[in-house]
A and B are shown apart, each in its own frame.
Chain A
Amino acid sequence: MSEPVLVRRRPRWLDVVGVLGVVAMGFTVWLGLWVTPPDVVQGNLARLLYIHPPIATVALYWVGLVAAGGSLLYLWPRTRSLFWDRLAASAVEVGAVFSALTLVTGSLWGRPAWGVWWTWDARLTSTALLLLLEIGYMALRRVPAEPAIRARRCAVAALLIAIDIPIVHFSVDWWQTLHQGGTVLDPGFDLHVHGIMLWTLGLGFLAFSLIFVWLLGVRYQVEVLQDAVGDQELEVSLTERWSEDTELVGVASGDRDPHAGGGAP
């Protein structure tokens, strides 16, 4: 087995990250729902913006960074390791959850703000496409193949999916969209959010990022265990096959043995 240590002795830092993520999330919810004042324009609806942009940031940038980076490092011959392949695959699955949540929380904000649950806006459509591509990647990963072939195939797919990330990011600049531009910063890096609202939003970014790291770590462990079980099953099959072959060889050599009986004298 290649990486039993990562599975049998779970890294302590991962548990620390998980606990910190839960604590930060608790504070985000408390500040977002009860402490921060209603927005002058949006009223209480602005409270959704303490979770929607952080979720979208994870879905787009953190997942994109890990999935595309891991895939590139796998494809690069000098850094080729199944570690990068497994990390990228884990990021894509966690990313699909965050992409779906981006669409759902955005839709729940859009219904009262825009009057529609969904519109074929460039930002929304490219985000939905990202989710579909991530689901496609997961389907591709389930296609039976040698680990190296599967890894190469998935790395190429992840890099193709990554093309959608700048499209999502720049969609509000490239096309006329219903979705607003930068929520926190405009292109001139002027802040749109201030005071306790800014701190709550910042804490939201931290909370969802920590939760992402924890989910990624646990998902990676699942990936390692799955591969290890696959290796073990292959080993068992080979051992059984070897035993059968050995028995057959024994029987065949027994037939040729003149002292074994049954043969002509």
Chain B
Amino acid sequence: MSYVDAGYAVALASLFVYAIGLVLRRRRWARALKVSEVPAPGADGVPGPGERL
């Protein structure tokens, strides 16, 4: 492999891997957000601040 081919391969492969990694991170965090969503205080019996049981 020549230096030219190596340069193109490294640049394109690195950007591709980083882009895929970013898309996967975005998907993982979007899923985490969905899981962590809680009902608003006061709804479904969850007491809000200043609210007594």
Contacts and interface: CB of A to CB of B under 8 A. Distances in A.
A249 B19 CA distance: 51
Interface in B4-39: 4, 6-8, 10-12, 14-15, 18-19, 22-23, 25-26, 29-30, 32-33, 36-38
B8 A33 contact: yes
Nearest to A223: B29
A159 B43 CA distance: 45
Contacts of A32: 8
A55 B11 contact: yes
Contacts of A109: 3, 7
A256 interface: no
A215 B22 contact: yes
Interface residues of A, number: 43
Q: Is the interface of B mostly helix, strand, loop or mixed?
A: helix
B7 A51 contact: yes
A243 B44 CA distance: 13
A101 B33 contact: no
B11 A51 contact: yes
Contact of A218 (B7, B26, B33): B26
A135 interface: no
Interface string A13-32: 00000000000010001001
Contacts of B18: 97, 215
A228 B33 contact: yes
A109 B10 CA distance: 13
B4 A232 contact: no
A183 interface: no
13 contacts: A7-B33, A104-B10, A108-B3, A108-B6, A215-B18, A218-B23, A225-B26, A225-B32, A226-B29, A229-B32, A239-B46, A242-B48, A250-B53
Interface of A: 7, 25, 29, 32-33, 44-45, 47-48, 51-52, 55, 97, 100-101, 104-105, 108-109, 111-112, 211, 214-215, 218-219, 221-222, 225-226, 228-229, 232-233, 235-236, 239, 242-243, 246-247, 249-250
